[in-house]
Amino acid sequence: MNQGDLDMNEMTLNKSAALFQTGIASILLVVATATSLRVGLPALLQVNQPPVQTA
């Protein structure tokens, strides 16, 4: 193992860490979007529709 090999290994580790962080960030984004849609869409639908009159 010379210095060049160590540099390559470090670069590979940094790339892996960056990809890992990007993957986690995108998963969190998807979860947050899905959650807000699940909460927000019914609320929007209820606001847009007049209340149902029960006889």
Q: How many CB atoms lie within 10 A of CB 32?
A: 10
Per-residue model confidence as pLDDT tens digits over 1-55: 577 787 888 989 899 999 999 999 999 999 999 999 898 888 877 776 666 677 6
* Token duo for residue 13: 């580790």
Give me the helices (H) in 1-55, please. 3-48
Question: What pLDDT was estimated at residue 50?
Answer: 66
